[in-house]
Amino acid sequence: MLTKRIIACLDIDSGRVVKGIKFLNLRDAGDPAELAAAHSEAGADEIVLLDILATHENRSTLLETVRRTARQLFIPFTVGGGIRSQEDAGAIFDAGADKVSINSSALADPGLITRIASRFGSQAVIVAIDAKRVNGGFQAFTGGGRISSGRDAITWAKDAEQSGAGEILVTSMDRDGTREGFDCELTRAITESVRIPVIASGGAGGAKDFIELFRQGAADAALAASIFHFDLTSDHRSSGGALADLKQQLLAAGIPVRWPC
Partner 1 sequence: MLARSADGPSAAEYEGAFVMIAIVDYGAGNLTSVKKAIDHVGAESRITSSPEAIVCATKIILPGVGHFSSTKKLGESGMRAAVSEAMERGVPFLGICLGLQWMLQSSQEAPEVRGLGIWPARCERFPAEVKAPHVGWNQLRIRNGSSRILNGVGDGAFVYFTHSFRVPLLNSTTAECEYGGSFSAVLEKDNLFGVQFHPEKSGAAGLKLLRNFCTL
Residues that are catalytic:
11, 130
Residue 9 vs 173, nearer CB to partner 1: 9
Among the listed residues 22, 27, 71, 208, the single contact to partner 1 using CB under 8 A:
71
Among the listed residues 52, 53, 75, 134, the single contact to partner 1 using CB under 8 A:
75
224-244: burial string, b at 16+ Cβ within 10 Å, e else: bbbbbbebbbeeeebbbebbb
For the CB of residue 98, give the shortest distance to partner 1 in the complex, in Å: 6
Q: Residue 49's closest CA among 101, 20, 90, 11?
A: 11
Question: Do 99 and 66 form a contact (C-beta atoms < 8 A)?
Answer: no
What sign does the CA torsion over 191, 193, 197, 202 have? negative
Residue 77 vs 156, nearer CB to partner 1: 77
For the CB of residue 2, give the shortest distance to partner 1 in the complex, in Å: 5
- Pattern of binders to partner 1 over 117-146, x per CB under 8 A? ---xxxxx----------------------
Of residues 86 through 105, those in contact with partner 1 by CB under 8 A are 93-96, 98
| Residue 254 touching partner 1 (CB under 8 A) | no
Residue 54 vs 92, nearer CB to partner 1: 92
Cis peptide before 260 (omega within 30 of 0): yes
For the CB of residue 143, give the shortest distance to partner 1 in the complex, in Å: 29
Question: Do 117 and 84 form a contact (C-beta atoms < 8 A)?
Answer: no
Of residues 190 through 249, those in contact with partner 1 by CB under 8 A are 195-197, 220-221
What are the strands, taking DSSP E only, across 103-253?
A: 125-134, 137-142, 147-152, 167-172, 198-201, 221-224
8's enclosing H/E stretch is strand 5-13
Of residues 6 through 45, those in contact with partner 1 by CB under 8 A are 40, 45
Kindly report the CA angle at 31 between 237 and 246, in degrees rounded to 5? Answer: 40
For the CB of residue 221, give the shortest distance to partner 1 in the complex, in Å: 7
Residue 70 vs 223, nearer CB to partner 1: 70
DSSP-assigned states of every residue in 21-54: ETTEEEEEEE-HHHHHHHHHHHT-SEEEEEESS-
The span of 2-10, 25-33, 52-60, 242-250 binding partner 1 (CB under 8 A) equals: 2-10
Question: Do 4 and 220 form a contact (C-beta atoms < 8 A)?
Answer: yes
What residue ranges bind partner 1 (CB under 8 A)?
1-5, 40, 45, 70-72, 74-77, 93-96, 98, 120-124, 166-167, 195-197, 220-221, 258, 261
